[in-house]
Amino acid sequence: MNRSHSPPVLRRLNSEASILAGAGYAVLLQIAHPSVARGVAAHSDFAARPLDRLRGTLYYVYGTALGTDEERERVQSIVRAMHRRVRGPGYDALDPDLLLWVGATLYHSAVRLYELTVADLTEEERAVFLRETAVYATALGLPQERWPQSPREFADYWERAYARLDVGEDALALSRSLFRPDNPILRPMCRAQRFLCGGLLDPELRGQYGIPWSPARQRRFDRLMRLTRSVYPRLPSGVRRLPSTLYLRSLRRHGGWKPSKTSRGSKGSRAPRR
């Protein structure tokens, strides 16, 4: 039988539905890196299909964290194949620096949302989760030694990398597509994500993205986080794990994730969605 051997802390944190509240936050951090933004802008049908990028990311995250060995290898091989096609002037999706940054945003946003909505992590849990989260980058080609080996190393890396972020035209255009998608049905959910991103981003990046903020909005955000942390952990585990359960069920029902082939590629070529 092909069993899951996923590390325990990785499974526990990534099965929590509340982590999804940081999805937009992670995306904005990623595309604040100009090379990431350039690659996404050139190869992703972001404006027309904003949920497709999220769906692909969640198949990768849940398949890697919660799937069987076979499922994990399948989603990782699909994403590796897609990333090989995402390259152009000034960007390459398999560049170790970009793999490290994107993997770091997944670790950072998961820890932040877990602690805001569920419970504080111990230092040991943070260290274990950091080691386990490395797989999101190393499975795509990042050398293991490039991944920070301790929370202190991660904090030092994060400070250096964050200082180099710059929200350019590509990132601004992508953020507008994220928060105001072509499909009007998605707009209320995207407005909610914009509000959450406003509360999670620091003032400098929030200002670069043009997200309106005020003391009143900050108070609303703080109240929402306090209420969520008070109520959410008391929900039945089946409710808290529902998104991850549904994604794994979809992965298994269809014999594995089959990404759409209708995404826009650079220079008019056709490429699968990222």
Please identify which residue in the block is written with the tokens 């955000």: 221
User: What is the number of domains present in the chain?
Assistant: 1
97 occurs within a structural domain:
yes
184 occurs within a structural domain:
yes
2 occurs within a structural domain:
no
68 occurs within a structural domain:
yes
pLDDT at 23: 92
Put simply, whether the predicted model's pTM sits higher than 0.85 gets the answer yes
Burial of 53 (0-12, 13-18, 19+ CB in 10 A): buried
274 occurs within a structural domain:
no
238 occurs within a structural domain:
yes
257 occurs within a structural domain:
yes
Please identify which residue in the block is written with the tokens 């904003």: 50
For residues 196 and 232, give the distance between their C-alpha atoms in angstroms, rounded to a whole number: 16
Kindly state the percentage of the chain with pLDDT values over 90.
65
Residue 18: domain span: 8-266
Residues 35-85 have pLDDT tens digits of: 999 998 887 766 566 667 777 888 899 999 999 998 899 899 989 998 888
pLDDT at 185: 82
272 occurs within a structural domain:
no
For residues 10 and 135, give the distance between their C-alpha atoms in angstroms, rounded to a whole number: 10
pLDDT at 173: 92
pLDDT at 268: 38
Which stretches of the chain drop beneath a pLDDT of 50? Answer: 1-2, 262-274
pLDDT at 49: 66
